[in-house]
Structure 1
Amino acid sequence: MRCRSGLWCVTKMASSEAEAEAAAGPEVVLPISAQKHDPAWKHCMMVRSAGRVRLKCIYCQKHFLGGGIHRFKEHLARRPGNACCCLNVPREVQETMLNSLNAVAAKKKRKQSLADDIRRITHPAATSAPQVDAVVAEMESPIHMIPLNEVLDLGSMPLEERPPETREMKGVTSNKRKKKMAVRHASTPLAHQNQQPLLSTRPAPQTQPFNQAVMALEPATTQGRHFDPTSSNKDQVYMAIGKFLYDAGVPLEAVNSVYFQPMLEAVASAGWRPEAFSYHDFRGCILKKSLEEVTAQLEFYKGSWTRTGCTLLADEWTTDKGRTLINLSVYCPEGTMFLKSVNATDIVVSPDALYELLKNAVEEVGEKNVIQVITNNSEIHAVAGRRLGETFPTLFWSPCTFQCIDEMLEGFSKVRAINEIICNAKAITGFIYNNALAFNLMKRHLHGKDLLVPAETRAAMNFVTLKNMYNLKEALQSMVSSDEWMHHLLPKKPGVIEVSNLVGSLQFWSSCAAVVRITEPLMHLLKLVSSNKRPSMGYVYAGLYQAKAAIKKELVRKSDYMTYWDIIDWRWDKHVPRPLHLAGFFLNPLFFDGVRGDVSNEIFSGMLDCIERLVSDVKIQDKIQKELNIYRSEAAGDFRRQMAIRARRTLPPAEWWYTYGGACPNLTRLAVRILSQTCSAKGYDRRHISFEEIHDQRMNLFERQRMHHLTFVQYNLRLQHR
């Protein structure tokens, strides 16, 4: 009977929906809120017709009047019971919806299992009637046992109980509303009967049955772990929370939130209950301990500087208030270390002032450790950098490679042929993203994907979006030929014909493909130099060579490809030659093997420049010169091993030299120091870090020092996980 009844309900619901759909008038497509995160929202449209809002499947056009997004998800998953199955849903979408439904079911099962465990502990079978009465009496006390079905959701429990008369003044409510209020009223165990919040009291342990229940549960739920509420364990938790606040850039006033104590109650479920923290703890002793830990980690970085060398980075940027700041950091393969932030508003206009700033930073790090200094690419920085190289003859100044490549891409986008393609692509994306119906159609035909792809710079975003559009060409063409586009958009919206013609144009897409092939090597190189996953010094010169080769292969005629070659050469050789990048190419076994017998004079001269500048002892210079011949000819040592040949493609260049460069110890030391450097001074994520506040002259000395420490901890914690 139950199955028949359930089938009758589903059939009746489907028939009522079909009747409503047939009687519905013209549909109005509604935008879907960005706050709706369920994956099923990407595969439906929200429409209004006949005064009611419905969900419409983008695959079978089925309307849903009730059941919410969960019922629609069952429709996509083709799970019978609550909704009819979609016959047109793609296989991958169906599998995604099934996985989502299974995850929800598993989560409910885990909650129920834990609730059953707690029920067995707090209400054993042998409990006598007087004991049950005692439990009931205890639950009527000001602070009582949390209901079993609420024990897992500590953060969402209200801290104060609403007076009954407040709800009565709101008039008549529906049955659902009354039930919801009744449940909320019953699940307020953390409040006193006189409406005082729990945060205002610290009852004795014997008045906290919840803590006793959790402690009793500890042997079953914390296998293999031991929690001792000692000072050492408490400090570990305090430091963990403090690091979270500093790394995420959360204002320290967040500890005054009413939700902070419930968070600690969740921590207490691990076996002990920490004391409440104060705002002054995090800006005082915990900040001090975090500063000590970060400093200790940075001392570990410093220990590698003598072996691998380091790069001083001067990241110049402008704040929202127009102030120019320079963040000074030190890069080495172990990690990047933030030193300090300098207000450079008056410094960047003077080469002398900028030189003094960089000179002091080099002296602070240690001249013998610094291989290169990377700054902005402006003429003032070039003047200061050349002067810095004269003062310190054992290091190089280099302009930021990331900025150079981005300027190359910006130059490409200004070439007439490419600019026209970018403008046409912007016309397509601009129309779609500014029209609700077109946007929903795009989501339907692209299966939830987006056309616009975020990137680190404007030029990079243009080209990565163009590539994404080309990859979705068939889906876009299907969209502009669909009935919805032809009947609802084409007759009504201006600009639709232009967009339709562009999407259907073979010439537009062939031009897009050519632009993607021309810019793909530079886009790959831009991503490489902006990442700190591996030092990029050994890859930049080869990346530019490959970019030129791709352009020449695509355009063939010299008059065509030289336009782009000139842009690359002008941006690359604008200020000074770059011997470090040439030496990085020479010492990278992956690339050097291809040109071993035909090394250009430019590359070998760059290698000799590095030997003369980075090695001050002339006797060691002569030894390196002899070892260079061994490396070039593979005449001795482990260079000729098959393992070494295979490892050229698998090991990072510096690690390859450590492993197989035993026959050339002096050259190996130099190669490791060169190949361990980065090529970009681009700063990492600076959001929610108060760089500008540390330069506020209105703060007193102690407050400014605290802000310096806070910024130092925040940015270095963020850089450690870059």
Structure 2
Amino acid sequence: MASSTPRATPKSGRQRDKAWKYGIPGSKKGEVTCTECTKWMTGGINRLKYHLAQIPGYGVEECSKSTPEIIREMKAILAENDMQKEERQKTKEAMVAAMNPTLSTSGPIGHTRGRQSLSSFGDNEGEASRTRVRSNPNFFVPHNVPGAQPSLEGTGWNREKHEQTKIAASNFWFYNNLSFNAANNVYWEGLVNALTVAGKGFKAPTCHDFSGPLLETTVKNTQVVVDDQKRYWKRKGCNILSDGWTNGRNRTLLNFLVASNGAMVFLKSIDASNEIKNVETVCNLLDGVVQEVGVENVVQIITDNEATYVFAGRMLMERHPTITWNPCAAHCLDLMLEDIGKIGWVKKVVEDARSVTKFIYNHTWVLALMRKHTNGKDVVRPEVTRFASHFITLQSILSAISHLK
């Protein structure tokens, strides 16, 4: 019999778990009360799942009031969580291998931690036990295992040599005009750690190495990550995104990307400069990509709102009834802003604002005076499209109207 205690509104992101409909969070973190048998426990929502699923061995008693439906539901949730953890771990390991194949998680650098085996995650028709093993590979070489960077006392490096190394790195950075934010890139830390492990005698890769064998190795490692991602296309379906643009040589290029399981994969780019841009041609191009990914794997195709793509998308849906076509939301909003900008009084306001901004930015002393009163803020806010820029600039002018006056 379910408890009549009123449900508390979950506060944290973790409490959005499906199992919270059978639990009441306590006043302290990790406290929860089962709504079926009113048992109070600590350990959070995960322990409640084992309690409701009647799985022994996890420091909690089996729920005496749990129904077969609840047991199956909790076991399904636990199995799904286990599968997601394994998938995330495999993706992480593939990324580590792609970043630096020489750093292996199976040697002394990585380590594996075993977990107790879970009993029956199936329903009453069949039971299957599986051992949950969580790998915890270090993303970079740690400094407390054999083969890692020795201590300063062992190498004789001193503060002066460290400063010289930093200056050498900064010279490369500044000479190549690299962004300061690039130092936050995970690959930069991986490079530094790998260099400390390499030690004396390491020779810097040449231009030939980067454009030849190293590039080929990187392509192979990247392909491993992509192939691993393709597994989700069959299991969970995927969306195909098409983006067309024209480069500096007036070549019409079509990029195709595949989104699935929260990740995006660049599939390929097609040079459509020599193709006649009509409905049938675009439809055939989209159909070719669908065939490559697999008709049974594709859920929808997303393109921009040009008339050619609209009719091509409808034609494609006639060929493959299981696939839907949808316009790009960002392009829809851009077209809406364009149409709004054509309204008479709106167009007049945009033109007046443009005259004001032109006057300010064409006179140095006026621009300096404006920035003085606005604390260095600009009123012109360039965006991806000019229609969005117009309305963002109008908003900036409105917020700084008193300073402009």
- TM-score tier (shorter): 0.5 to 0.7
Q: Take 1:340 and 1:146, find their aligned partners in 2: how far apart are those partners?
A: 49
Match for residue 293 of structure 2 among 362, 365, 370: 365
1:391 lines up with 2:319 in the alignment: yes
Match for residue 342 of structure 1 among 270, 279, 284: 270
Equivalence map 1:68-83=2 (5 Å): none
Counterpart in 1 of 2:168? 154
Specify the SS of the correspondent of 1:455: coil
- Sort the Cα spacing of 1:271 and 1:408 in 2 relative to 1 into closer, same or farther, 3 A: same
Counterpart in 2 of 1:400? 328
Specify the SS of the correspondent of 1:304: helix
Deviations 1:643-673 (A, max 9, x none): xxxxxxxxxxxxxxxxxxxxxxxxxxxxxxx
Specify the SS of the correspondent of 1:475: helix
* Aligned residue type for 1:153: I
On the 8 A contact 1:316/1:327 being kept in 2, the answer is: yes
- Sort the Cα spacing of 1:392 and 1:293 in 2 relative to 1 into closer, same or farther, 3 A: same
Q: Take 1:147 and 1:327, find their aligned partners in 2: how far apart are those partners?
A: 48
Deviations 1:404-430 (A, max 9, x none): 210110010111111111111111111
Counterpart in 2 of 1:324? 252
Counterpart in 2 of 1:415? 343
Q: Take 2:276 and 2:308, find their aligned partners in 1: how far apart are those partners?
A: 7
Structure with the largest fraction of helix = 1
On the 8 A contact 1:372/1:396 being kept in 2, the answer is: yes
Counterpart in 2 of 1:425? 353
On the 8 A contact 1:328/1:338 being kept in 2, the answer is: yes
Q: Take 1:332 and 1:454, find their aligned partners in 2: how far apart are those partners?
A: 32
1:438 lines up with 2:366 in the alignment: yes
On the 8 A contact 1:315/1:328 being kept in 2, the answer is: yes
Shift of 1:327: 0.7
Specify the SS of the correspondent of 2:218: helix
* Aligned residue type for 1:298: V
On the 8 A contact 1:311/1:370 being kept in 2, the answer is: yes
Q: Take 2:396 and 2:316, find their aligned partners in 1: how far apart are those partners?
A: 43
Counterpart in 2 of 1:304? 232
Shifted more, 464-473 versus 270-279: the winner is 270-279
Shift of 1:452: 1.3
Counterpart in 2 of 1:272? 199
Q: Unpaired segments of 5 or more residues in structure 1?
A: 1-116, 124-144, 159-238, 245-262, 478-722
* Aligned residue type for 1:154: A
Q: Take 1:304 and 1:156, find their aligned partners in 2: how far apart are those partners?
A: 42
Equivalence map 1:16-95=2 (5 Å): none
Equivalence map 1:582-601=2 (5 Å): none
Deviations 1:512-564 (A, max 9, x none): xxxxxxxxxxxxxxxxxxxxxxxxxxxxxxxxxxxxxxxxxxxxxxxxxxxxx
- Sort the Cα spacing of 1:327 and 1:271 in 2 relative to 1 into closer, same or farther, 3 A: closer
On the 8 A contact 1:355/1:385 being kept in 2, the answer is: yes
Specify the SS of the correspondent of 1:394: coil
- Sort the Cα spacing of 1:334 and 1:300 in 2 relative to 1 into closer, same or farther, 3 A: farther
Counterpart in 1 of 2:108? none
On the 8 A contact 1:301/1:334 being kept in 2, the answer is: no
Q: Take 2:236 and 2:344, find their aligned partners in 1: how far apart are those partners?
A: 45
Q: Take 2:349 and 2:367, find their aligned partners in 1: how far apart are those partners?
A: 22
* Aligned residue type for 1:291: V
Deviations 1:333-366 (A, max 9, x none): 4211111111112335232222221111101111
On the 8 A contact 1:308/1:332 being kept in 2, the answer is: yes
- Sort the Cα spacing of 1:270 and 1:355 in 2 relative to 1 into closer, same or farther, 3 A: same
- Sort the Cα spacing of 1:404 and 1:268 in 2 relative to 1 into closer, same or farther, 3 A: closer
On the 8 A contact 1:305/1:332 being kept in 2, the answer is: yes
1:382 lines up with 2:310 in the alignment: yes
Counterpart in 2 of 1:15? none
* Aligned residue type for 2:199: W
Q: Take 1:429 and 1:440, find their aligned partners in 2: how far apart are those partners?
A: 13
Shift of 1:292: 2.2
- Sort the Cα spacing of 1:424 and 1:305 in 2 relative to 1 into closer, same or farther, 3 A: same
Q: Take 1:391 and 1:472, find their aligned partners in 2: how far apart are those partners?
A: 54
Shift of 1:472: 1.6
Counterpart in 2 of 1:211? none
Specify the SS of the correspondent of 2:268: strand
Shift of 1:305: 2.4
On the 8 A contact 1:373/1:396 being kept in 2, the answer is: yes
Shift of 1:304: 2.2
Deviations 1:151-184 (A, max 9, x none): 54124679xxxxxxxxxxxxxxxxxxxxxxxxxx
Counterpart in 1 of 2:217? 289
1:356 lines up with 2:356 in the alignment: no
- Sort the Cα spacing of 1:149 and 1:324 in 2 relative to 1 into closer, same or farther, 3 A: closer
1:456 lines up with 2:384 in the alignment: yes
* Aligned residue type for 1:441: L
Percent identity over the alignment? 31
Specify the SS of the correspondent of 2:253: strand
Over aligned residue pairs, what C-alpha RMSD do you find?
3.3
* Aligned residue type for 2:354: K
- Sort the Cα spacing of 1:268 and 1:379 in 2 relative to 1 into closer, same or farther, 3 A: closer
Specify the SS of the correspondent of 1:326: strand
- Sort the Cα spacing of 1:325 and 1:271 in 2 relative to 1 into closer, same or farther, 3 A: closer
Q: Take 2:389 and 2:352, find their aligned partners in 1: how far apart are those partners?
A: 15
Shift of 1:271: 6.7
Q: Take 1:412 and 1:458, find their aligned partners in 2: how far apart are those partners?
A: 13
- Sort the Cα spacing of 1:155 and 1:267 in 2 relative to 1 into closer, same or farther, 3 A: farther
Structure with the largest fraction of strand = 2
* Aligned residue type for 2:338: E
Equivalence map 1:441-590=2 (5 Å): 441-477=369-405
Q: Take 2:278 and 2:339, find their aligned partners in 1: how far apart are those partners?
A: 28
Specify the SS of the correspondent of 2:264: strand
On the 8 A contact 1:348/1:380 being kept in 2, the answer is: no
Q: Take 1:148 and 1:278, find their aligned partners in 2: how far apart are those partners?
A: 24
Q: Take 2:162 and 2:332, find their aligned partners in 1: how far apart are those partners?
A: 61
Q: Which of the pair has the greater relative contact order for Cα pairs under 8 Å at 6+ separation?
A: 1
Specify the SS of the correspondent of 1:277: coil
